[in-house]
Amino acid sequence: MLKSIKGKISAMYSDLGCAIARWKHKKNLPVLEERDRQILKTLKREGVYATTLAELGLSSSLNMLKSAYEQLSKIEPDKNDPLYEMWPQIHTVTEIPEIYAWATEKRLLNLIENYIGLPVTFHGVHLRQDFPSDHQFGTLLWHSDAEDRRIIKIFVSLKDVEEKSGPFQYIPRSLTSLFKWQYYWLYYKLWQSRYMGIDDEIVKQVIPKSAWKSCTGPVGTVVFADTKNTLHHGTVRQEERVTLFFCYTANPPERPELCTQYWDDTFPRLTLNSTSETAQALGNRG
């Protein structure tokens, strides 16, 4: 009991220190273009912003998308029979120069720094294939991520995303703010699950399904999400979903041990002969 109390007090001091650091860094936040201020405003209000590569307008998007498809073509198709619970197939593509270049575009980093409120770090990218399932398990359960106090993950779809392909789904933060009892009820249920996730039936008890938001769209759909503070999940699907997952946190994050998966050997790595510039940038991630 004493150890638990000490741990909670330590966490409170840590959170207070982080809040003070954000306040001090506010005057150093980069200036955003008007279009990016609108993204930031929506992220702060809802926790998620959906757009497309074309609307986002980054110069490196075409090369990034082309390279992503080249990497996808290298992956051997899964030849196993469908399983009761077929877990996603994940490959790390952080070292692919064109993908890394898109992820570290100055506009993106400036936007994310304004949201997180502190200097940020880009951890890496997963190329992820999610397979059909007829029930909720794993990340199909409602959950929140734990790498940091604020996290931005960017999802870029490499296939059209319709309801049948299991889109990213979330509850707008405006419905679960700290001033609403639903927030405490839902996160109590998460705590009861040991943060493994809760199913649709539990969520429906306090947030009607009509209020849940699904991020559908064509190839190149881009979703910005604070996956720490926004309750979310992938939905049950009848078709495969293929997505790039980019991860950003404050530098350093609250739990750095959860971030290594984006560049270490946790998952198989797809690599090219990286340029020395890219290799040096990866080494200087901080």
Q: Are residues 70 and 207 in the same domain?
A: yes
Q: What is the mean pLDDT of the chain?
A: 92
Q: What is the pLDDT of residues 218-273, one digit of tens each?
A: 999 999 999 999 999 999 999 999 999 999 999 999 999 999 999 999 999 998 65
Q: Are residues 9 and 144 in the same domain?
A: no
Q: Are residues 76 and 208 in the same domain?
A: yes
Q: Are residues 97 and 229 in the same domain?
A: yes
Domain region containing 50: 33-283
- Evaluate if residue 274 carries a pLDDT over 90: no
Q: Are residues 132 and 164 in the same domain?
A: yes
Q: Are residues 172 and 239 in the same domain?
A: yes
Instruction: Please give the model's pTM, rounded to 2 decimal places.
Output: 0.92
Count the domains in the chain: 2
Q: What is the CATH number of the domain that holds 55?
A: 2.60.120.620
Q: What is the pLDDT of residues 24-39, one digit of tens each?
A: 999 999 999 999 999 9
Question: What b-and-e string marks burial along 135-170, b requiring 16 or more CB atoms within 10 Å of the CB?
Answer: ebebbbbbbbbebbbbbbbbbbbbbebbeebbbbbb
- Evaluate if residue 56 carries a pLDDT over 70: yes
Q: Are residues 93 and 78 in the same domain?
A: yes
Q: Are residues 173 and 253 in the same domain?
A: yes
Tokens for 127?
A: 């190329």
Q: What is the pLDDT of residues 57-96, one digit of tens each?
A: 999 999 999 999 999 999 987 766 566 789 999 999 999 9
Q: Are residues 277 and 154 in the same domain?
A: yes
Q: What is the pLDDT of residues 145-171, one digit of tens each?
A: 999 999 999 999 999 999 999 999 999
- Evaluate if residue 284 carries a pLDDT over 50: no
Q: Are residues 24 and 90 in the same domain?
A: no
Q: Are residues 23 and 144 in the same domain?
A: no
- What pLDDT was estimated at residue 13? 81
Q: Are residues 15 and 77 in the same domain?
A: no
Task: Please report, rounded to a whole number, the percentage of residues in the chain having pLDDT higher than 90.
Answer: 85
